[in-house]
Chains A and B, each alone.
Chain A
Amino acid sequence: IETYYDPACLPDLLPIYYRRLFPFSQYYRWLRYGGVSKNYFQNREFSFTLKYDIYVRYQSFTTQNELEKEMPKMVPYKIDIGAVYSHRPSQHNVVKSGTFQALEKELVFDIDMTDYDDVRRCCSAADICSKCWTLMTIAIRILDRALREDFGFHHLLWVYSGRRGVHCWVCDDAARKLSVAARAAVAEYLSLVKGGEETVRKVVLSDPIHPFINHSLSVVERYFQQYAIVDQDILGSKESVDKVLALLPEDILSFPVSNSRKGGQYFDKEIMLQYCYPRLDVNVSKGVNHLLKSPFSVHPKTGRISVPIDLKELNTLILLSLICEELERPRADEAEEDDMKDQENEQEAGERRRIRDYKRTSLAKYVKVFDRFLEAMARSRKGEMLKKSDLQKDF
């Protein structure tokens, strides 16, 4: 669904987006986390990239209302979410030095397609297509399973980054409270592809093979034939065949395969993993105060919105222009209805308009995914509170 996108239209379209489409109430509901912790939303840092690449940090808001008023006014081209701090970020300068600290943040992961450039042939850099999008599918399946089954996390929000990858926001209570060391440890546990330019063989397996690796391999194996052999055609040219051959043990021709090098017997698995296994940037996941692109933020270079991904459908993209175009076609009967209702309370009218507006666009189904995610968290919180009050024998 590619349509021509011109960044010059941003100054016109963005205000419309923020006024009529951005799902503020869901967004606020998310970041408030049920209001269990006092000032959780108020102490959250946002950073905005404004027109002409002006970057402002330590933005914070007190209410949903304030957010709704400010965003269409400031018209950020990019929105990043940071940590929940000890004080309101907008007042960080007046706080006694040393006491302003990042306290909590979601555990996040960033999978970027450019990190796979050495193993994909269809595109490079910021381009993506249906052939290499499979890599994201594989990444999501592997990481989602591991984060849920191995680490016991429940509330994962997968988001399209807007350009060339995906982000994962792990929103469990326990995840938000993780230390830097713990985040790094989780990211390392999930890392299998190691090494830079100089490293040819980036995956090394040896006995015993950890259950995590086996789980990951079964996902990769499911997609490998179609993805690597067919779509990426890795055996299709001498150059790419050579790349594969470079990963084989030198003594491959002597049967049976000897153990001359560490774990030499798993070279087939290693190759599959090197071509397909998710590549994480540990540094993104480590920092409690690391800023990451916000869901529902627009990517100024592509015009695409960072939408939540429904794990049941891992293959469509959306364009901002597309939504706005859909919007531009007003419907006569609706317009009439609007006028009548505008006599009522302004805010309500605005809210209603917004709900009506995004529902008319393809943004709707993504907001639905987000809603489901929020519902699950709310249910879980309720469950926790019931458990707690049971323990305390409150009636």
Chain B
Amino acid sequence: MQDSKKKRKKLIGNFQNDLYDQCLQFYGQPPLENISLTEFETFAVERLKLLKTVENVGVSCGKSSEQYTKKLDAEISSLNFPHRGGISEYEKRRKDHISHFILRLAYCQTEDLRRWFIQQEMDLFRYRFNCLHSKHKTDFLHKNNLKYETVSAEEKKNLKDKLIASSYGLSGTKVEEHDVYKVPFQDALDLVRTRKVYLLAGNAYIPHHEIVTIVLNDFRTRLSKALAMTARSLPAVQSDERLQPLLSHLSHAYVGQDYSIQKNIGKISLEQIDALSGKSFPLCMRHLHKALRENHHLRHGGRMQYGLFLKGIGLTLEQALQFWRSEFVKGKVDADKFDKAYAYSVRHMFGKEGKRTDYTPYSCMKVILSNPPSQGDYHGCPFRHSDPELLKQKLQNYKVSPSGINQILELVKGMHYQLACQKYFELTHNVEDAGFSLNHPNQYFTESQKLLNGGRDIKKEVDMSQRSQENPASVTHPSQANSKQAHEEMGDLDSFFQDE
């Protein structure tokens, strides 16, 4: 009896060891155990935080920069997930495994959610894979049946010059010291298409540092297929009442901060907009507002970006129509033409025409990455799309200090556009630390209003008995504690407006 018990324990132990003997996995097999609802929820939320961290770091530093890896290192190490293959990581790996599969349930439903999930999981995977030691990389490939043949030392020597001439960033030493893989060219299409790899007799010769591209391709394909399959079995899962609310909260947690749910409708009056644009609008919207006032017109890109922002801060459809009409009429458009041509698109924005989709205000990512402005456009992100000289002038006009402008320009040079905007926030609100991580223009507005109306202070009193404060009454120097709190609030606008 004892013996078989011992044996069983050992077997299970071995099984567990096998299952999580690597810190990185392909998530091929779903977890097969029972867990409590609490664990289910905790795991899911923690992974969501992890993926959002990956996203934020990716946007604030370029993904190929050295800073990226360093920053990710720093952020992830505090998140209680497998990190750099520590010895006693079994629990963390188990969480990693399970949480991935839970999030699949939440993020398989729409094209947008899937795309976001796949992108973050890929970035996370790439980061982890690159952290592995060379030997562990090979082990990983073997364990997951990714059969990439390595090139012999002799062949490497013969092909050295050709390899160096085909792959960017490949040196002679690298060729000698690291593995070079040989895969059929059909498995390396991205590299073939851009001619970034050496081809011989139908094989692509992939240097070690590029093998991750091949593996990532594989990863993406598998995950994409898996999500499609998950979506098909979703109805069964959603019928479980315990899970349904959590799953929808999870996917909304991504969506909820996009200010599509307006709880603050009608709280802003049109007369306030001019003043607000100077005080609480992020630079992009301030810029658009000014252009609208000066030219009495904005092109489509600008109308969308600004119009949706205004919707997000609480304008009603009627207010919006009045706002746009009054401005356009001062220009070349008469009221009739406005009603015929432009009113439709305003109503469209509010979901009252056509597809009747309630369009969501653009996030920073969207503004920065899509639809770059051309001549005659005023939309986009000024930190991203404006010439640094022009940006400098504009900031000078807005009375930002010279040293502040320099700091901003430095950040812009490093492509940290959102951080530059955050810096702009700090300089214009006279605070040392914005206290939040900027990723949405409406978030900028909300945070600004909170700051200016002391909404934060009130929150402080209630929640923070343990946290130290430098200056309880001051709004100018929020402590570190504030930033944590702000994160935890998860975009809850109610508190702000109830205080009025």
Q: Which residues of A contact B (CB under 8 A)?
A: 149-153, 174, 178-179, 181-182, 184-186, 188-189, 208-212, 214
Contacts and interface: CB of A to CB of B under 8 A. Distances in A.
A268 to B, nearest CB: 19
Given A150-B200, A210-B195, A212-B199, A182 B165 contact: no
Contacts of A208: 164-166, 168
Nearest to A181: B189
Contact of B203 (A152, A185, A186): A152
A217 to B, nearest CB: 13
Contact of A188 (B185, B194, B198, B199): B194
B166 A184 contact: no
B186 A182 contact: yes
Cβ-closest 9 pairs across A and B: A152-B202, A185-B193, A150-B199, A152-B201, A185-B189, A188-B193, A185-B192, A208-B165, A211-B162
Given A184-B193, A208-B166, A211-B166, 4 more contacts: A149-B201, A151-B199, A152-B203, A208-B164
Nearest to B162: A211
A339 B345 CA distance: 83
Contacts of B164: 208
Nearest to B202: A152
Contacts of B202: 150-153, 174
The residue among B162, B164, B193, B194 with the most chain A CB atoms within 10 A of its own CB is B193
Contacts of A184: 193
A226 B198 CA distance: 31
B165 A211 contact: yes
Interface in B61-116: none
Contact of A189 (B162, B193, B201, B203): B193
A178 B186 contact: yes
Contacts of A210: 165-166, 195, 198
B286 to A, nearest CB: 36
A152 B186 CA distance: 12
13 contacts: A149-B200, A150-B202, A152-B203, A153-B202, A178-B186, A182-B185, A182-B189, A184-B193, A185-B185, A185-B189, A189-B195, A209-B165, A214-B165
Contacts of B198: 210-211
Nearest to A212: B195
A179 B193 CA distance: 14
The residue among B164, B199, B201, B203 with the most chain A CB atoms within 10 A of its own CB is B199
B225 to A, nearest CB: 16
Nearest to A148: B201
B303 to A, nearest CB: 29
Interface in B180-228: 185-186, 189-190, 192-195, 198-203
A216 to B, nearest CB: 11
Interface string B421-433: 0000000000000
A189 B165 contact: no
A151 B189 CA distance: 12
A211 B198 CA distance: 8
Contacts of B200: 149-150, 152
A250 to B, nearest CB: 22
A371 B192 CA distance: 33
Contacts of B190: 185
Contacts of A179: 186
Contacts of B199: 150-151, 189, 212
